Chain A
């Protein structure tokens, strides 16, 4: 009889079980990674509902067609699934273009007090969000993965199917672009350009 699923099992072993129709193993994977992939999807599409739908859809597709995961390739499950979620989020983002500053402000206003400094911070965040959305797609993905998701540059390179040097260059260009964009909007000072470059 097969051993029962437990929380200590590696993702790749859980995937083996999912491929045999083990719903318990699938639940452990979902519990373990939903939040992480939600954040990744959110950083691309900047919309809570969309990010949740993207993650749900990606997991359900994985459950429906688990054979798309090939353990023999030796990739890490999370690296591979980042690619799945990221691609889905990009497709979604291309179809339903982008969050406006007012959307971002509404979202922040809902969650927090309306003190002036909080609003100022919210406005800065909204501009940052807008500037990130304006970045070229590959720069945005590299920045999101490396800066936020705790993914190493090497893993980001695997996810994006490029070399590590290319990832470093994309991140550098993304930050330079953001800096210029935020200086233009008056969110950060010219001085920052000196520190950043």
Chain B
């Protein structure tokens, strides 16, 4: 069998050895690189979905604080209305409640 000179040359084509630490270099570098889009297991997805609900809807602290402030505000603001209850009681016209409640000493409403 005649060997093709080109085939012999191609078979003997040299490739320099890679540096021995290349694999280490790659695996170590990977430790410093965060996975951006790792595929999650369904259970992980479920958990993270609940996490998102709790984090973004149920326990956002600023919103909770605002809600408490609003409730207190309504409660304290409503107490003015309570003070004017006798005025309210004296009239059946709800619109007048505000008229009466805004009266100051000396005003005449008759």
Which residues on A are within 8 Å of B, measured CB to CB? 19-21, 23, 26-27, 30-31, 34-35, 38-39, 42-43, 48, 51-52, 55-56, 59-60, 63-67, 107-108, 111, 124-125, 128-129, 147-148, 175, 178-179, 182, 187-189, 191-192, 195-196
16 contacts between A and B (CB under 8 A): A19-B38, A30-B30, A34-B26, A42-B18, A55-B26, A56-B22, A60-B33, A63-B35, A64-B36, A111-B16, A125-B13, A129-B13, A147-B10, A178-B6, A195-B3, A196-B6
Min CB–CB distance B19 → chain A (angstroms)? 7
A188 and B9 within 8 A (CB)? yes
Min CB–CB distance A39 → chain B (angstroms)? 5
A182 and B9 within 8 A (CB)? yes
B27-53 with Cβ < 8 A to chain A:
27, 29-31, 33-41
Chain B interface mostly helix, strand, loop or mixed? loop
Q: Which residues of B contact A188 (CB under 8 A)?
A: 5-6, 9
Number of B residues whose C-beta is below 8 Å from A? 31
Instruction: Compute how far the CA of A27 lies from the CA of B6 in the bound complex, rounded to whole angstroms.
Output: 38
Instruction: Compute how far the CA of A31 lies from the CA of B23 in the bound complex, rounded to whole angstroms.
Output: 6
Min CB–CB distance A26 → chain B (angstroms)? 6
Q: Which residues of A contact B27 (CB under 8 A)?
A: 23, 26-27, 30-31
Given pairs A65-B37, A66-B37, A182-B6, 17 additional interface contacts (CB within 8 A): A19-B38, A23-B27, A34-B23, A38-B22, A48-B16, A52-B22, A55-B22, A56-B25, A60-B29, A63-B30, A65-B36, A108-B14, A111-B16, A125-B13, A188-B9, A192-B5, A196-B6
Which residues on B are within 8 Å of A, measured CB to CB? 2-6, 9-10, 12-16, 18-19, 22-23, 25-27, 29-31, 33-41
Chain A interface mostly helix, strand, loop or mixed? helix
Q: Which residues of A contact B38 (CB under 8 A)?
A: 19-21, 66-67
Q: Which residues of B contact A191 (CB under 8 A)?
A: 5
A42 and B15 within 8 A (CB)? yes
Q: Which residues of A contact B15 (CB under 8 A)?
A: 39, 42-43
Please tell me which one of the listed residues B18, B29, B33, B39 contacts residue A35 in the complex, with CB atoms under 8 A apart: B18
Instruction: Compute how far the CA of A196 lies from the CA of B19 in the bound complex, rounded to whole angstroms.
Output: 36
Q: Which residues of B contact A38 (CB under 8 A)?
A: 18, 22
Q: Which residues of B contact A51 (CB under 8 A)?
A: 18
